[in-house]
Amino acid sequence: MKKKLLIAVGVLAIIGALYVGLNPPGEEVKTYQVQVGDIRQTINETGLVQASNYLDIYSSENGKVESIAVEIGSSVSKGDTILVLQNNDLSIQKATHKSSLIQAKNKLSLVKANWERVKLDYEEAKNNYARSEKLFKAGAISQSQLEEIKKVKDQLETTLREQSESYDQINEQVQILEKALQEIEVKERSLVITSPIDGTVVKLPAKVGQYLVTGTRVAQVASLNKLEIKTEVLSDDMADIVLGQKAIITAPLLKDKELEGEIVQIYPQAEERLSALGVIQYRVPVIISLKETDKLRPGYEVKVSIHTLTKEEVLIVPREAIIYDEDDSKQVMLIEQGRIKYVNVETGLQDRANIEITRGLDVGQKIILDGSSLLKEGTKVKEI
């Protein structure tokens, strides 16, 4: 009896082993059920946060930085001093022109006094000549006496004309020196560089003791009340970019929060850039306004996703479910009766997560989520 029982148990064990061998457990896989949803085509780039209202401040004169009145982060009002330059050449020019101007004005005063004296002498000589002409006609004086009186008058007239010309020349010299001195004083005032707007100092490359040439950027002042994003889009993608398009802004410091933006400006021409791989690219700067800024500050790098096209209620699957063949055809691993079947699909739009299926699948069908697993066709699978 006991022997028969052992035989029966052995037979059952063999049958069980044969069953397991012929019916192995399915490969555990994660699946996705094809569904209808909305999909947005996006262009993804990086961008930099910047103030909507900012101004770069440049030196308008050469000079050595004598002092800096602010630091990065300082709040300034329009007209507040940013830094002061020292220009010894201007100081020397000013002193030289002042001295020359004083000398010219003194000379002008002397010439004017001489001119006024000669003018009085000339008027007297002219009147004397007029009287002498009457006396000559009356026979009271001789021809030679009249000619001598006329000679004195003519000499004084010549001297008066020369004094007048000298006065005009020196007066013109005074005006030139005054104008030059005014220009030097304007340049001297330009050595005190001030903020043109109310705002915050966000850049301050100048250092005390540094020598600056005309046109050097010394600071950047921005109004931090309103920020925007500047990104650069490949020229090949610009056909899909228009004003008013929405954009999503993300960054590590925002964690899972997404900020909404809108394209408000597209630059009129592309700019040449060198990619990280050393490839020359042509990119168009695009400005995106922000509804809110959260923790963003000027200079922060962010990720920008510009929504260029949206389709609603289309078949979608996760992008990672798609298998790309060498001939650019696409497949998914469909689950039919618990086994894998490779199915060709055609796709449309895609976003960061999903891709549109235009042919090859129906809503409700289940597919393998991870297309990279590349299980053999007919493999038995088990959902997890």
pLDDT of 10 higher than 80 = no
Burial class (CB in 10 A: 0-12, 13-18, 19+), 101: middle
Residue type for 294, please?
A: D
Fold of 43-55+225-310: Elongation Factor Tu (Ef-tu); domain 3 (2.40.30)
Each residue's pLDDT tens digit, 137-194: 988 888 999 899 999 999 999 998 999 999 999 999 999 999 999 999 999 999 999 9
CB 76 within 8 A of CB 195: yes
Q: pTM for this structure?
A: 0.54
Task: Calculate mean pLDDT across residues 283-306.
Answer: 94
Each residue's pLDDT tens digit, 48-100: 999 988 889 999 999 999 999 999 999 999 999 999 999 999 889 999 999 99
The matching CATH number, chosen from 2.60.120.10, 2.40.420.20, 3.90.1150.10, 2.60.120.380, for 24-39+311-383 is: 2.40.420.20
Ranges of each domain in the chain: 24-39+311-383, 43-55+225-310, 88-188
Confidence class for position 136, pLDDT limits 50, 70, 90: confident
Q: What pLDDT, on the 0 to 100 scale, is given for residue 25?
A: 64
pLDDT of 14 higher than 70 = no
Q: Which residues pair with residue 289 across a beta bridge?
A: 228, 262
Query: What does DSSP say about strands 63-68 and 211-212: parallel, antiparallel, or unpaired?
Result: antiparallel
Q: What pLDDT, on the 0 to 100 scale, is given for residue 5?
A: 46
pLDDT of 109 higher than 70 = yes
Residue 87 backbone dihedrals phi, psi, to 5 degrees:
-135, 100
Residue type for 66, please?
A: E
Give the whole-angstrom CA distance, residue 255 versus residue 113.
Answer: 85
Sequence-distant (6+) residues with CB within 8 A of 353 are 318, 319
Task: Calculate mean pLDDT across residues 301-316.
Answer: 93
CB 375 within 8 A of CB 381: yes
CA distances from 11 to 3, 14, 22, 23, 28 (A): 13, 5, 16, 18, 30
Confidence class for position 15, pLDDT limits 50, 70, 90: very low
Sequence-distant (6+) residues with CB within 8 A of 17 are none
Q: What pLDDT, on the 0 to 100 scale, is given for residue 16?
A: 45
Compute the mean pLDDT over every residue in the chain, rounded to the nearest whole number. Answer: 89
CB atoms under 10 Å from CB of 104, counted, come to 19
Each residue's pLDDT tens digit, 247-273: 999 999 999 999 999 999 999 999 999
Each residue's pLDDT tens digit, 19-36: 444 555 678 999 999 999
pLDDT of 306 higher than 90 = yes
Task: Give the residue with greater pLDDT, 336 vs 2.
Answer: 336
CB 307 within 8 A of CB 38: no
Q: Which two tokens stand for residue 273?
A: 């850039």
Q: What pLDDT, on the 0 to 100 scale, is given for residue 276?
A: 87
Q: Which two tokens stand for residue 24?
A: 């192995």
Residue type for 120, please?
A: L
Give the whole-angstrom CA distance, residue 366 versus residue 3.
Answer: 51
Sign of the torsion angle spanned by Cα atoms 161, 162, 163, 168: positive
Each residue's pLDDT tens digit, 211-243: 999 999 999 999 888 899 999 999 999 998 999
Burial class (CB in 10 A: 0-12, 13-18, 19+), 102: exposed
